[in-house]
Amino acid sequence: MCSLFWPQDQPEQRDSTPSATPTSSVESNDAGISASSRHAGTVESSPTERQAPESGTLYTRGQQPLLLSENQPGASPLAQHQPPGSVLSPCKSIVVKEAEKLKLDFIRGSKTAWDEFVQKLSIVHAEPEFTDDSAILHSTLNAEVQGAHKLAATWTHDVQEAVTKYLRGIAIHKITVTDDIWQTLETSVKDAASDSAFVHPLREEKLFAVVGFSSNATSLYEHIMETLESLKQEAERKKDEITERNRKLNSAQLRILAAMSFDVEVDKRYEGVKVDIDLGQREIIFRGIRQDVNDAQVDMYELLNQVKSKHIANISDSQRELLVRIETRSFVEDRFKSKGFVAIWEISNQEVQVYAFNDKCVEDAARIIRESVQTHNINLSRESTELIRSSDWQGWMKILEDSHPGRFLITLSQNDSQIVLTATSDIIHEVKERVECYLEKNTVYRQTFRLSESRQRFVKLFNEASLQEIQEKLKPHKVAVSLSETGTEIWVQGRKEGLQLVKNELTKLEGTIQCKMETIVDPAHIKFLTSENSRQELEKLGSRNHCIVSLDPESSGLQVKTVFKF
């Protein structure tokens, strides 16, 4: 069974001039077209068998070619339609013999060919009937046709001539195709056919048959031949393909080849040569025609011979660590490209070595590396040192790293007094400000506050609840306010903003505690009041009246002291 390709679009225009060279035969009787006894004007086939197929319809055929020679039986006579005294002799139906059968398949499958074929036959008073394995032409003559008797006498000849002429306008080209490129060619040409020319892949015969109107079939045939020739050349070329694996290059050589897109350059220069630079396996692979592969490798070594290198001194550990990160490497290499050159660097034995294709590029690359990776120190207080060891700091650092992955590094100095920030030049100031702001807002400080002596004692004895009220009021600021164990100090713990708010509240508290002072100058009174019994009585008096009676000097104002630990 042969398969058939054609598109679903509208029939294309074609040259209607028939080919000078016949490609099929239409014979009378034993020569290809035979007549059979049949009454004129009668066709014993269903109307659908003679309807033109819609564009894109495929009539499935059997495997045998059209080699028909049997006469077809006639139908019932039409004598009742003839004028009195006149009898129209019946015309024998004609069977078309087509050894290739491809032309008849084309007529049935092409809407343009079908319409034309039916129109040509109608001129000579005939209509086609296609069965699974034959094409039969029936007469449409009847007594009502003017000159019917005369037309009937030449009907067979006229039909044979019309069919022969039409079939000559249909060309068949056969192309022999080998198995190794069959599938590729079939895929390549399946969309090349049209309503005016079909392609039949005949796998068992190892042929591609192009069938269609002469000029269209020839154009399609030439297109397929060009494609076939290209595929043959490609197949021949592949026979000489080799694969070369080069593992002799060091990491720097492979990386500079990758940086300059050596694989792309080879692809442009040598058609069919493919290069794969595998940095992980430390190899470069060449695939292609032997001579082209050899030439491409020569080009590679000539390039590598031009490479210059330079050592960069005074690079810190954190800078070296950042320079090996992919994101930082990409940032620096992009700066190289913006300056119009290719360079790479390698870090080995705590040293940074730069490679480029000339001395000037090496110097420029070293300068750009220094400018691109910078370091800044941030001083730490003792309280901030505690903060950066906390889980809160670690969580915030994760957020910061996600905003600039692989582009900065934060470490502590040896004595924990500084944060060492190393980052690419485009983000270092932003990261520095964010770190300083975080430390400012989140470092927890400890301070002691002391009211005047009598007021401090008053809070301890009668008004400690006021401290809890302050803490509750400032709860959103996460401050802790309490009396020391001796009651002589107020302990406050919190961030800077919270500490200032507590100070303001304690100042207000001090103002709400009224204090009245009396000066005693009489020595006798002084002696009496300072006696032990008097002091005890004064304390009892203060306790009964919720006040403090003190003979000690009174300081003024709120005293503040910052401490590391309570």
Give CA separation, 145 vs 81, 140, 148, 159, in Å.
11, 9, 5, 17
Q: Is the pTM of this model over 0.85?
A: no
Element (H, E) at 227: helix 214-239
Query: Nearest-CA neighbor of 241 among 273, 270, 269?
Result: 273
| Number of other CB atoms surrounding residue 420 within 10 Å | 17
- For the record, the structure tokens of 502 come out as 């507590």
293 three-class SS: helix
Written as tens digits, the pLDDT of the chain (566 aa) is 333 323 233 344 444 333 333 333 333 333 334 333 333 322 233 333 333 333 322 222 222 232 223 333 333 333 333 444 456 777 889 888 766 688 988 999 999 999 999 999 999 999 999 877 778 999 999 888 888 889 998 999 999 999 999 999 999 999 999 988 899 999 888 888 899 999 989 998 999 999 999 999 999 999 999 999 999 888 887 888 899 999 999 999 999 999 999 999 999 999 889 999 999 999 999 999 999 999 999 999 999 999 999 999 889 999 999 999 999 999 999 999 999 999 999 998 888 999 999 999 999 999 999 999 999 999 998 889 889 989 999 999 999 999 999 999 999 988 888 999 999 999 999 999 999 999 988 998 888 998 888 888 888 888 899 999 999 999 888 899 999 888 889 999 998 889 999 999 999 998 888 888 777 777 877 777 777 887 787 788 777 878 877 777 777 677 777 665 54
- Which distant-in-sequence residues (6+ apart) come within 8 Å of 57 by Cβ? 109
Domain positions in the chain are 29-168, 174-239, 241-304, 313-373, 445-563
Asked if 241-304 and 445-563 have one fold, the answer is no
- For the record, the structure tokens of 367 come out as 């300068």
pLDDT at 40: 30
Q: Show the DSSP H helices in 404-495 as ranges.
A: 428-442, 453-462, 465-473
Please tell us whether the domain made up of 445-563 is placed in CATH 3.30.70: yes
pLDDT at 100: 64
DSSP output for 24-93: S---BGGGSEEEE---TT---S-HHHHSPPPTT------SS-B---PPPP-----GGGSPTT--PPPPPE
SS (H, E, C) 117-184: HHHHHHHCCEEEEECCCCEEEEECCCCCCCCHHHHHHHHHHHHHHHHHHHHHCEEEEEEECCHHHHHH
pLDDT at 4: 30
Query: Nearest-CA neighbor of 348 among 243, 255, 221, 214?
Result: 255
Task: Taking the CA atoms of 291, 293, 296 and 297 in sequence, report the sign of the dihedral they define.
Answer: negative
| Residue in the block written with tokens 């002589």 | 488
- Which distant-in-sequence residues (6+ apart) come within 8 Å of 90 by Cβ? 37, 38, 39, 40, 74, 77, 139
pLDDT at 13: 40
Q: How far apart are CA 148 and CA 366, in angstroms?
A: 103
- Which distant-in-sequence residues (6+ apart) come within 8 Å of 265 by Cβ? none
Q: How far apart are CA 290 and CA 298, in angstroms?
A: 12
Please tell us whether the domain made up of 241-304 is placed in CATH 1.10.10.10: no
- Length of the chain (residues): 566
pLDDT at 220: 94
pLDDT at 561: 72
284 three-class SS: strand
Query: Nearest-CA neighbor of 452 among 334, 550, 318, 539?
Result: 550
pLDDT at 421: 96
Q: How far apart are CA 77 and CA 40, in angstroms?
A: 8
Burial of 275 (0-12, 13-18, 19+ CB in 10 A): buried
Q: How far apart are CA 65 and CA 103, in angstroms?
A: 11
The CA R_g of the chain, rounded to the nearest whole Å, is 53
Beta strands at 241-246 and 343-348: parallel, antiparallel or unpaired: unpaired
Query: Nearest-CA neighbor of 372 among 344, 335, 318, 320?
Result: 335
- Which distant-in-sequence residues (6+ apart) come within 8 Å of 445 by Cβ? 383, 493, 494, 495, 496, 499, 562
